[in-house]
Structure 1
Amino acid sequence: MNRSIWIGGLVAILGVGGWLWQGGRHAVPPAPEPAAAWTWQLPAGFPRPVVPADNPMTEEGFQLGRRLFYDKRLSGNGTQACASCHIQRLAFTDGRALPVGSTGDVGARSAMSIANVAYYPTLTWANPSQTTLEIQAVVPMFVENLAIELGINDENKAEVLGRFRADADYRQRFAKVFPGQAEPINFENIIRAISTFERGVISGNSRYDQALAGKLSLSEREERGRALFFGDKARCSECHRGYNFSDQTYDVTTRDVPRPFHNTGLYNVDGKGAYPDDNPGLIGVMPQPENMGRFRTVSLRNIALTGPYMHDGSIETLEEVLDFYAAHGRNVTRGPFKGDGRRNPLKDPIIDKIRLDARDKADIIAFLKTLTDEEFVANPRFADPF
């Protein structure tokens, strides 16, 4: 079965049924009451993110989630944490083309940054059914018949919970964040806490942001790159727009939630627009032919730190990314994925309108590097607490 279809089915079941593994039974624990008031400290121009009513933001929940995010005891074999594939100094990516799970399995898609993840209406590269962090977290934790990530299963789930229940500090933290529950250390609460932490991981203090605020000036080359980025010649901002540099961005002010996906001409393995069978994009969960090769637009914030690029990590550098877009797609000349993506009939027509020369590409890269938030990647609030 196609991995995207399987995940979509799992998430649909979870979204309707609301069950998660908890001990040896299925249960729906009551929604926790807030432990303490939360005040968003947001960058200029950033509206409040959308927060599920049954998982409100609290400082205690954020700090509990932060600990769980970095704790290797959350994997089945105790060797890997969420942070193993989401490293702060790399803007919470992993520096690999494809992630490696706790059992050595290699994933099919590049590990995405969790910076500003609270502002995405869909999570992951090409699955519109994964609309909340709480839903998405089920996949890396529990899914086994795809590439194993954290590898929690029927055989080890009681052991995993036991590790946390035996820890006095965790017992105290869970009781405060989820009061009134006979046993607050369960998988649903673990997921809620991690989701709370991830929602609070906000980046918006790059040199670009400081220039917008009048605190500094960009160089001549960076300014040329900015003009190109937002102009008709490069057309970058048609997909990478708004405060989060993505056309999939929403917040409490959003009325119509945008969920676009795009085919950029990365592959054309059959001459008719096909992508590799094991990674076909949105068509995996929405089988209309036009969804072949469509993936979500990622934010360009901290993009200089998050390579390799594209959904499968198949482009190594920013320079190669700009070459790819300037060429209107990629011509793969050998191997099993041979084909001319420039001639992909399903490609987004915006791609063919891009007009860039060598200087333009260098200027745009200079601008993209101004989107790195140095404070964010060194902020102790988001760092390993252990």
Structure 2
Amino acid sequence: MNRSIWIGGLVAILGVGGWLWQGGRDAVPPAPAPASAWTWQLPAGFPEPVVPADNPMTEAGFQLGRRLFYDKRLSGNGTQACASCHMQRLAFTDGRALPIGSTGEVGTRSAMSIANVAYYPTLTWANPSQITLEIQAVVPMFVDNLAVELGINDENKADVLARFRADEDYRRRFAAVFPGQTEPINFENIVRAIATFERGVISGNSRYDQARAGKLSLSEREERGRALFFSDKARCSECHGGYNFSDQTYDVTTRDVPRPFHNTGLYNVDGKGAYPDDNPGLIGVLPRPENMGRFRTVSLRNIALTAPYMHDGSIASLEAVLDFYASHGRNVTHGAWKGDGRRNPLKDPIIDKIRLDARDKADLIAFLKTLTDESFIADPRYGDPFGD
């Protein structure tokens, strides 16, 4: 079954924006979150993120979501948490080419960073229907038609809720965040709390940011890389621009929401532009020929921490990524997916305009490393509240 159709059906059942199934007895619409102080502490140049009216930011909600994000009891078999594939020290990625779910199944796409995820108008690699964190959070919890992640299903969903309902601390926290409900510990509220935490995970204090603020100076090589990054020679900023270094970025100031997806020439299996059958990109959701091989542009913030790269983790290092772009695509010379991506007819034309020599690539690597936010990956506010 088409994954987007399955998700759409699940969202309809759950009733996002008007929840119907809560995994419990009481199908009661949620009460508004209690009034509590929430002030965005945003980096310079970062506008406020868009926040759904029916899931406002609160400190209590953020802290509840943080606990749930790190709690392995949220998986069907109690072995994994959201944080199992989104580790703070790796800018909330997992260091693997492909993630491994709670039942040992291997996923089909690389685990994406949740840093600044509030600023994305679409979520995941190639599904424009996942436009809010509330919708997206449902997928790792319940979807198993491609690979099991947290593995909650009809057989174990009652047990999952029972784990949290038996915990007095969780009962107190859920009651405070979702007052007036007969049974506030339900999947609707779990999803809302996790989305609140993820929306508040903000990174914008890298050496690059500090240099822009006049607090330090970049090295000569880093500065050359910065200039090159924004130049017509490298063309990096055309897809990785703005305060979040991505062309899929929106906030409260955005009028026209950008949702571009790109084919970079990573594959060309049949000589006509085809990508691997099990990972074809946007065409899997929007079945038009031109959508073959198109994926979302990731942010380059903390990029030095998030290897391996690309949607399938098939490029191991930043150096190899720049070699790939400098070659205008990838020539796969053996194996099932053999083909010359450099000649992919569906490739974004901008790829062929990139001009990089060895020194350019070294300078760009130096600059990209300035985008690492050391304070972010060590900030206890985003860390494991259980101390594991």
Q: TM-score, structure 2 length as denominator?
A: 0.97
- Note closer, same or farther for the CA distance 1:375–1:243 as it changes in structure 2 (3 Å cut): same
Q: CA deviation at 1:144?
A: 2.0
Do 2:65 and 2:195's aligned partners in 1 also have CA atoms closer than 8 Å? yes
Q: What is the rounded CA distance, in whole Å, between the counterparts of 1:324 and 1:8 in structure 2?
A: 36
What one-letter code is carried by the residue in structure 2 that aligns with 1:158?
Answer: A
Q: CA deviation at 1:6?
A: 3.9
Question: What are the within-5 Å matches in structure 2 for residues 1-386 of structure 1?
Answer: 1-3=1-3, 6-7=6-7, 10-11=10-11, 18-19=18-19, 21-23=21-23, 27=27, 29-386=29-386
Q: CA deviation at 1:22?
A: 2.4
- Note closer, same or farther for the CA distance 1:32–1:360 as it changes in structure 2 (3 Å cut): same
What one-letter code is carried by the residue in structure 1 that aligns with 2:164?
Answer: F
Q: CA deviation at 1:96?
A: 0.2
Q: CA deviation at 1:24?
A: 5.5
Q: CA deviation at 1:23?
A: 2.7
- Note closer, same or farther for the CA distance 1:167–1:184 as it changes in structure 2 (3 Å cut): same
Q: What is the rounded CA distance, in whole Å, between the counterparts of 1:23 and 1:121 in structure 2?
A: 28
Q: What is the rounded CA distance, in whole Å, between the counterparts of 2:180 and 2:194 in structure 1?
A: 20
**Secondary structure of the structure 1 residue equivalent to 2:161:** helix
**Unmatched runs of 5 consecutive residues or more in structure 1:** none
Q: CA deviation at 1:19?
A: 4.2
Q: What is the rounded CA distance, in whole Å, between the counterparts of 1:272 and 1:150 in structure 2?
A: 37
**Unmatched runs of 5 consecutive residues or more in structure 2:** none
Please give the per-residue CA displacement for 1:167-216, whole angstroms capped at 9, x wherever unaligned.
Answer: 00000000000001110000000000000000000000000000000000
Do 1:35 and 1:176's aligned partners in 2 also have CA atoms closer than 8 Å? no
What one-letter code is carried by the residue in structure 2 that aligns with 1:124?
Answer: T
Segment of structure 1 superposing worse, 19-28 or 322-331: 19-28
**Secondary structure of the structure 1 residue equivalent to 2:86:** coil
- Note closer, same or farther for the CA distance 1:246–1:261 as it changes in structure 2 (3 Å cut): same
Q: What is the rounded CA distance, in whole Å, between the counterparts of 2:12 and 2:311 in structure 1?
A: 23
- Note closer, same or farther for the CA distance 1:8–1:361 as it changes in structure 2 (3 Å cut): farther
**Secondary structure of the structure 2 residue equivalent to 1:342:** helix
- Note closer, same or farther for the CA distance 1:16–1:23 as it changes in structure 2 (3 Å cut): closer
What one-letter code is carried by the residue in structure 1 that aligns with 2:276?
Answer: P
Do 1:31 and 1:55's aligned partners in 2 also have CA atoms closer than 8 Å? no
- Note closer, same or farther for the CA distance 1:164–1:47 as it changes in structure 2 (3 Å cut): same
Q: CA deviation at 1:37?
A: 2.1
Q: What is the rounded CA distance, in whole Å, between the counterparts of 1:300 and 1:218 in structure 2?
A: 18
Do 1:282 and 1:295's aligned partners in 2 also have CA atoms closer than 8 Å? yes
Do 1:3 and 1:278's aligned partners in 2 also have CA atoms closer than 8 Å? no
Do 1:76 and 1:160's aligned partners in 2 also have CA atoms closer than 8 Å? yes
**Secondary structure of the structure 1 residue equivalent to 2:61:** helix
Do 1:269 and 1:275's aligned partners in 2 also have CA atoms closer than 8 Å? yes
- Note closer, same or farther for the CA distance 1:233–1:160 as it changes in structure 2 (3 Å cut): same
Q: CA deviation at 1:27?
A: 3.5
Do 1:326 and 1:356's aligned partners in 2 also have CA atoms closer than 8 Å? yes
- Note closer, same or farther for the CA distance 1:219–1:330 as it changes in structure 2 (3 Å cut): same
Q: What is the rounded CA distance, in whole Å, between the counterparts of 2:100 and 2:26 in structure 1?
A: 29
Please give the per-residue CA displacement for 1:97-121, whole angstroms capped at 9, x wherever unaligned.
Answer: 0000000010000000000000000
- Note closer, same or farther for the CA distance 1:329–1:104 as it changes in structure 2 (3 Å cut): same
Please give the per-residue CA displacement for 1:311-336, whole angstroms capped at 9, x wherever unaligned.
Answer: 00000000000000000000000001
- Note closer, same or farther for the CA distance 1:103–1:244 as it changes in structure 2 (3 Å cut): same
Q: CA deviation at 1:2?
A: 4.4
Task: Count residues with an aligned counterpart.
Answer: 386
RMSD: 1.5
Q: What is the rounded CA distance, in whole Å, between the counterparts of 2:100 and 2:264 in structure 1?
A: 26
Q: What is the rounded CA distance, in whole Å, between the counterparts of 1:335 and 1:244 in structure 2?
A: 36
Q: CA deviation at 1:34?
A: 2.8
